[in-house]
Chains A and B, each alone.
Chain A
Amino acid sequence: MIQVENLTKRYGSRTAIDGVSFEVEKGEILGFLGPNGAGKTTTMRILSGFFPATEGRAVVAGFDVSEQPLEAKRRTGYLPENPPVYTEMDVTSYLRFVARIKGVKSADVSRRASYAMERCGLSEHEDRLIKHLSKGYRQRVGLAQALIHDPDVLILDEPTIGLDPKQIIEVRELIRSLAGDHTVILSTHILPEVSMTCERVIIINNGKIVAVDTPQNLTHQLAGGTRVEVEVSGPMEQLSNVLTRIEGVGHYGTSAASGDRFSLSIEAEDHKEIRPAIARELVKNGFDVYSIRMEAITLEEVFLKLTTEEETE
């Protein structure tokens, strides 16, 4: 549904995105994850036809965004970071206006506006002026505007930014319900959002793609798997001798906990079950073990690892 090849955008000497390539299948939700200024908005603006790329090609729903912009735009719904609303208009007239400029047939304008309002939970607010709506409802108006012409592709730039937790959950559910009918690309710098909403994630940093995968695979493979948290006390000077003897122990770190206890954070290589061996060896060498538990490495850590590695290159 979306093919992006070697997309590059330069502003003068500054490169916003550099050789970005990816594909999105029909009906998929793709998450664009990256710190602020990584190039998420730039990529989305190119895909939506707001401005062209310096180099490279982007094809949306079979149409090149720079060669057949009108055809591509007809099939794209775009929600910029700030919902592009006319605050002095009421919800219905705004959506009808958008429907008209998006090329919805005159006979269908009212029907599509009602559909979009119903879909985004705006039906009760159809006559309210947009300036009287809360941020959450404005965001819904933004979403309604993006899907009013039944586009194949929805491009959503930070759709949950500035919302309260309840609204965030509602908007996420709404987005999830839109996939299938529409292909969705959404950007965010909030990590749990990606694992909750997206089927596939692209991590972008400094204008370059650093990883593409499902949220699960990213946490598993890229981070090297799982981690064991142990709380111990005992002869800490012998710790390294003890741990290096155990098979499957990767990097580890220690930090002081309460009293004479220490917290150990041990990475397990290849998802090996290392807890019994650790417990056994520690006790054998005179340590007291207070707790031992396995933790999955979070997407947040993968993200930090990937983005900081990129920076030190």
Chain B
Amino acid sequence: MRNLLAILTKELKSLFVSPIAYVVLAVFYGVSGYFFYIILSFYAQQSSMNQFGQAPYPMDVPTMVVGSYFGVLSTILLFLLPMVTMGIFAEERKRGTIELLLTSPITHLQLILGKFLGVILFLAIMLLPAILKVLLLYTYSDPQPAVSPYLIGILGAFLLGGSLIAVGVFISSLTENQIVAAAATFGVFIILWVLDASADGTTTVVNEVLRYLSVLNHYEDFTKGVFDTQHLVFYLSFVFLGLFLTSLSLDSEKWRK
């Protein structure tokens, strides 16, 4: 446990020592804040126009804002997370510090979990302002809406981010080139994103499988404020798979040159 914590702290620190963390955070905060503002003003405008319309129809503005905002959030994560995970193992290989880690009395599990949880903490820092936005939204909304859809949205973004990180960590462990890792991670993310696009139409087994594997498909319920354990299980098994593959990749040190 102590070993794991040492790795975790070091991972988080090294993210903040490099400019990557600051750039990613700044871009993420800036872009997500900007979209939040746009979405909020759009729906506010719509609702006020609606009130003056011929036949007013009911609008649940908070829910609509939450839905659109988390939709955008997932896309920004898709772009930024590869930059956070690209160095996780690639950098260690490049510098030769992988020799230090693999000759230390720590297990692969401790090493991988330490690194993974370090990035997860970073993801939590990324999502922190989203909580501030909840406070904003609920301070100024009248009548006050339910808090749970927003919190479920944050949970969804966190789970989605976590599974993308697990994939990124695995890809980073395959190469010693950070750019290769980032590009490959980005590519895999996009494929996982749009996997269900090729499945539209019929309900054959293949289509069902494709739809199930699409990471975005499972995210949608969260953005609607619906919590379904089926999705939780999906994301957790995704994380498990990513970390398991990473462990295999580290084991491959046994036979690779």
Contacts and interface: CB of A to CB of B under 8 A. Distances in A.
Contact of B97 (A69, A84, A102): A84
Contacts of B254: 51-52
Given A70-B106, A100-B2, A103-B104, 12 more contacts: A69-B105, A73-B103, A80-B100, A86-B95, A86-B97, A87-B95, A89-B17, A100-B3, A100-B6, A101-B104, A103-B2, A106-B2
Given A70-B105, A84-B95, A86-B14, A98 B3 contact: no
21 contacts: A11-B257, A45-B99, A48-B99, A50-B253, A51-B253, A70-B105, A73-B103, A78-B100, A81-B96, A82-B95, A84-B100, A85-B97, A86-B10, A86-B95, A97-B10, A98-B104, A100-B2, A100-B3, A101-B6, A102-B105, A103-B3
Interface in A61-95: 69-71, 73-74, 76, 78, 80-82, 84-89
Q: How large is the interface on B (under 10, 10 to 19, 20 to 34, 35 or more residues)?
A: 20 to 34
A70 B5 CA distance: 18
Interface in B218-257: 253-255, 257
B3 A101 contact: yes
Contacts of B98: 84
A49 interface: yes
A74 B7 CA distance: 17
Nearest to A82: B96
B101 interface: yes
A188 interface: no
B105 A84 contact: no
B109 to A, nearest CB: 12
Contacts of A89: 14, 17
B26 interface: no
B96 A50 contact: no
B106 A88 contact: no
Contacts of A84: 95-100
Nearest to A76: B103
A45 B253 CA distance: 11
In this complex, which of A51, A70, A80, A101 has the most chain B Cβ atoms within 10 angstroms of its Cβ? A101
A187 interface: no
Contact of A88 (B2, B6, B14, B99): B14
A102 to B, nearest CB: 6
Contacts of B106: 70, 101
B31 interface: no
B107 interface: yes
Contacts of B102: 49-50
Contact of B104 (A73, A80, A85): A73
B170 to A, nearest CB: 20
A145 interface: yes
A98 B106 CA distance: 11
Nearest to B91: A86
A45 B98 CA distance: 12
B18 interface: yes
Interface in B75-107: 95-107
Interface in A11-59: 11-12, 45, 48-52
B181 to A, nearest CB: 18
A245 B45 CA distance: 116
